[in-house]
Structure 1
Amino acid sequence: MDHTDLYIDGAWHKGAERFDVINPATETVLASVASADIADADAALNAAERAMADWAARTPRDRSEVLRKAWELMTARLEEFARLITLENGKARADALGEATYAAEFFRWFAEEAVRADGLVTQAPASGARILVQHKPAGLAVLVTPWNYPAAMGTRKIAPALAAGCAVIIKPASETPLTMLALMPLLEEAGVPPGLVNVLPSKKTGALVDHMLHDPRVRVVSFTGSTGVGRKLLHAAADQVLKPAMELGGNAPLIVFDDADLDEAVEGTMLAKMRNLGEACTAANRIYVQDGVAEEFTRRLTERMAALKVGDGSDPTVDVGPLVNADTRDKVAEFVADAVAKGARVECGGTTPEGTGFYYPPTVLSGVPENADCVHDEIFGPVAALQTFSDQDEVIRRANDTEYGLVAYVFSRDFKRALQVCERLEYGMVGLNRGLVSDPAAPFGGVKQSGLGREGGHEGMLEFMETQYISASW
């Protein structure tokens, strides 16, 4: 691996300690990576403060051109990034290439948004004073990203922050830091000045991030990960009253009505369930199928899932790679065992294979009872948990019966009924006759315990800006 050190102020630093990154397909060490400590965090904060003074003063077009160049450079190197994603995360080549393409697109989208931080000039109705509203860079931003999308979760935060005029310190997941480190030479080539983006891999995440969140120069914290960790970061952010952007856990329902196009529904379910091997907060976690089509839907989905080829994701013929680590695989196996013990039926898969690698086969469970653990917690693996329903009001109640509210999916050919159902679902996003909702041009985010704020769309840039109002008379 070319880059395994800390990236601070446009230079590589060895760090006092190191940790190993493991290939989940072979369980061998990919690289030894530098582990940042408090002194490294302070160096990154100092560098970011210096860099932001100049960057925030640049014209929006200047910032836009740098981001556009980053998109061009990353698009030219998608295969390189896909290979690295597969090596450290395990996902199959096609999935990794899809992530790399998606990740690059954030640079293009926010290159376009950088010039559209529109303000307002109007007249106060009572006083007659002019009201001037503008959006300004919020300040230094600390970005904390998960292991399931090593490239996209970083670019989805870096691009809008830079578009807004902010400098960032990014702390990538210790399972998958290599992709983000590999992005730094590309950003240099695109024209990102030293210190504007700093990368601090670390095995001491809690202490490192807590230290940065208590530095008065930091004004934004953006986190993607579990709701439990998000709550802790929100507590820490409260001490400095930081601007939080939190994309947290999910428990996505997918509803298939009797009148759905079953080909479309099965295809959408495969995408919503198996994209990234189910290791996604947007993955369909509870699949509700109306009684009239339950048997046929189960048969078709089982055929599709059973036909997937499992193996090392670096093999282009493989559909399903390993899970990211042993703990994730074992948790998936426990969910399946619990559901079966409570009455669920295994239609395919369901057994942990022997041998090297953190593999778990694509699995379909039918007749999953409401008291199964997988109904109430994220599976984060290739397991489709099927339940049936008869009544529309009943399935909406069951779908909303969770503390989470990130994404839901609805399949029906009755567009009027489908939209009515969508409006009653307590989720920040809904896929209607689609198994994919993520798009750089759309505001990604949830309600309830699934987070605060939005990433992507125009809203994604505003998360890194503050609104200033000026009252004037002329």
Structure 2
Amino acid sequence: MVNYSGLDSQFIGGQWKKGTGSSTIDLTNPYTQEKIASFQSASVNDVDEAYQAANSTQEKWAGVNAFERSRIINEAARIMEVRRKELVELLIEDGGSTFIKANVEVDFCIAITRHAASFPFHVEATSPPSIVPGKKNKVFRMPLGVVGVIGPFNFPMYLAMRSVAPALAVGNGVVLKPDSQTALSGGTVLGKIFEEAGVPAGVLNVVVPDIGEIGDAFVEHPIPRMISFTGSTGVGRHIGEICGRMIKKVVLELGGNNPFVVLKDADIERAVEGAAFGKYMHSGQICMAVNRIIVHQDIYEEFSNKYVEFTKKIKVGNPSNEDTLIGPLINHKAVGRILGEVEKAKEEGAVVLLEGSVDGNVMSPYILKGTNEMSTAKNEMFGPVVTIIPAASEEEALRIANDTEYGLSGSVHAGTVEKAMAFAQKMETGMVHINDQSVNDEPLVAFGGVKGSGVGRFGGDWSLDEFTTFKWISVQEEKRQYPF
């Protein structure tokens, strides 16, 4: 076990210290269920202190030379490269990541941080021409000020980093609140990385509160001009309502009910492999994970049989083993929730094609045949459960795919790219992947959803836009003739 002493503290104003909250937050390894760290929770006063620290240092940080800010962000990426093994072990112990998934997550973190290091050179002014005689315009891209970031438990390090790195790079102050279940890998380790990289004290702060104790204080605090939230749609709606009332900018990356569509002329073996990876990576605990497989009825039986047989070969168990794809769920409450959904689907008429089993927090796959109205198809499973749904035609497959409140990711397999592209353009999702699976993320591409899956985009210049604002300043160089 890695020694986490020193990371089990709040990081506020450049100081590592105990929280002043009334709760103790214990972190446990989801696989072994051993306690690995314990935090004294952050109080409302700690949250306020963190925001005050970010606010008091932000302007000076924004004034740091662009080359120096870029160097510091690149140094954070270098630290992650050097400490890859340590970070992988942390992700395995703190959140139950498999060895495969943890390495992918570290790669994502390094890539998004490297890209963010270019952002300081793009916080610049443009000079649009004016329709007014004698006027010169300047439009300045500027940091927002202070950004509050709320991270989830499933890809804790990356889904925090994709907000923290761009926000810092453009000159914002940041307060990060990780999910308390993964407070090390999603929170304090980022504070340590950027501290060592040279981000000035107070610019980045990490707080680990008990939400039952602080309520909405993190979002409602008057200092942050933006909240970046990744998590469930229900919580996202609540945060969006608060930010709307307080006129704060908000980015919401929420849940998904992602369809994997297999048309009649698809390459079945290729589709089977893609659907398996897209479903079982990190035990299905990914917002982009395949939740429903929609297959043309003429190839349904062949696809289902091959998918079941392929799934039986997938390694389930100890996440530290390099060939394990399915490790533990985050906690036993998640196991109970998913088993309840499976039992409900059975009562609704679902046919079990592969019966899973449970060992501690580890769940082996369940494969069901059903309809889009069944519990496991209507709801995001966030676990190794998938419903395969037959469709009589391409039109019906599209209707089923779009019949959900969510719209994050999806994929379609077809005999020709042209057919798949036409289908993909009609899918109501923010992202579609042709002849691949639904779990994709790249640093230079727009990432985000529609409908109940959120608002805003991460990646490339979309992140630059999300974490900055614009100010128009004009100069009237000649006396203006007013119409009076």
**Shorter chain as normaliser: what TM range?**
over 0.9
8 Å Cα contact 2:148/2:227 also seen in 1: yes
Q: Are positions 1:468 and 2:471 aligned together?
A: yes
User: Equivalents in 2 of 1:125, 1:267: separation in Å?
Assistant: 58
| CA distance 1:423–1:255, shift in 2 (3 Å) | same
Identity %, equivalent residues: 33
Aligned to 2:441: 438
Q: Which runs of 5+ in 2 are unaligned?
A: 478-484
Q: Aligned runs of 1:57-68 on 2, under 5 Å?
A: 57-68=63-74
Q: 1:144 aligns with which of 142, 150, 163?
A: 150
Among residues 411, 414, 425, which one is paired with 1:412 in the alignment?
414
Asked whether 1:190 is paired with 2:194, we answer no
Deviations 1:38-92 (A, max 9, x none): 1111111121112212111123322211111111110111111111111121121
Contact 2:281 2:326 in 1 (8 A): no
The CA deviation at 1:277 is: 1.2
1:295-314 mapped onto 2 (5 Å cutoff): 295-314=301-320
Residue 131 to residue 335, structure 1, CA distance change in 2 (3 Å): same
2-side partners of 1:205 and 1:312: how far apart? 32
User: What is the Cα deviation at residue 360 of structure 1?
Assistant: 0.9
* Gapped regions of structure 1 (runs ≥ 5): none
1:201 paired with 2:201, answer no
Equivalent runs, 1:176-325 vs 2, <5 Å: 176-179=182-185, 180-204=187-211, 207=214, 210-325=216-331
Shift of 1:232: 1.0
Question: Within 1, Cα distance between the matches of 2:266 and 2:132?
Answer: 54
Instruction: Tell me which amino acid in the other structure corresponds to 1:304.
Output: F
What's the counterpart of residue 12 of structure 2? 8
Q: Name the SS of the counterpart of 1:446 in structure 2.
A: coil
State how 1:91-106 maps to structure 2 within 5 Å.
91-106=97-112
Is the 8 Å Cα contact of residues 310 and 361 (structure 1) preserved in structure 2?
Answer: yes
Counterpart of 1:50 in structure 2 is 56
Quick one: which amino acid aligns to residue 9 of structure 2?
Answer: D
Distance change >3 Å, CA 205–CA 444, structure 1 → 2: farther
- Report what 1:336 is aligned to: 342
2: CA distance, partners of 1:339 / 1:60: 55
- Tell me which residue corresponds to 2:119: 113
CA distance in 2, matches of 1:205, 1:244: 22
Aligned residue among 411, 427, 430 for 2:429: 427
Amino acid at match of 1:191: G
Residues 281 and 325, structure 2, Cα contact 8 Å, conserved in 1: no
Distance in 2 of aligned mates of 1:266 and 1:120 = 50
AA at the equivalent of 2:374: A
Structure 2 CA distance for aligned equivalents of residues 205 and 446 of structure 1 = 29
1:175 to 161, 181, 196: 181
CA contact (8 A) 1:70 1:187 kept: yes
Residues 142-180 of structure 1, C-alpha deviations (whole Å, 9 max, x = no match): 111110012111111101101121011111001110112
Check if 1:81 corresponds to 2:87: yes
Using a 3 Å threshold, how does the CA distance of structure 1 residues 392 and 317 change in structure 2: closer, same or farther? closer
Q: Report the AA paired with residue 110 of structure 2.
A: A
Superposition TM-score, scaled by structure 1 size: 0.95
* Aligned match of 1:31: 37
Identify the residue that residue 395 of structure 1 maps to in structure 2: 397
Whole-angstrom distance in 1 between the partners of 2:344 and 2:259: 20
Which of 338, 346, 353 does residue 347 from structure 1 map onto?
Answer: 353
